[in-house]
Amino acid sequence: MKMHNPPHPGEVIKGLWLEPMGISVTAASQALGISRKTLSKIINGNGSVTPEMAVRLSIALGSSAESWMGHQVAYDLWQIEQHKNELHVKPLKVA
């Protein structure tokens, strides 16, 4: 079953990890080995969790890379499905 309007992975990082742990974006970005700007973009919903970032998050937070990719894919699919009629795709028919 598809989730209705799943949260952006950045919301999950912020709400379930950084805020409860009392960790700043600066400290988290240093632990992840990335720039503060990169993490800030993800947390603010302006960046995506790439496979590399998923692995970094899994190491830093102890979760699986697959779960981070799943968050991103669920979010991306829900977003594009809201505009699928604008894609102008027609079903293929068997000859």
The pLDDT value recorded for residue 1 is 55
The pLDDT score that the predictor gives to residue 91 is: 93
pTM for the structure as a whole: 0.88
At residue 40, the pLDDT reads 98
Spell 52-69 as b/e; 16+ CB within 10 A means b.
ebbebbbeebebebeebb
Sorted by where each starts, the structural domains of the chain and their CATH numbers stand as: 9-80 (1.10.260.40)
For the chain, residues with pLDDT lower than 70 are 1-3
Q: What is the pLDDT of residue 95?
A: 85
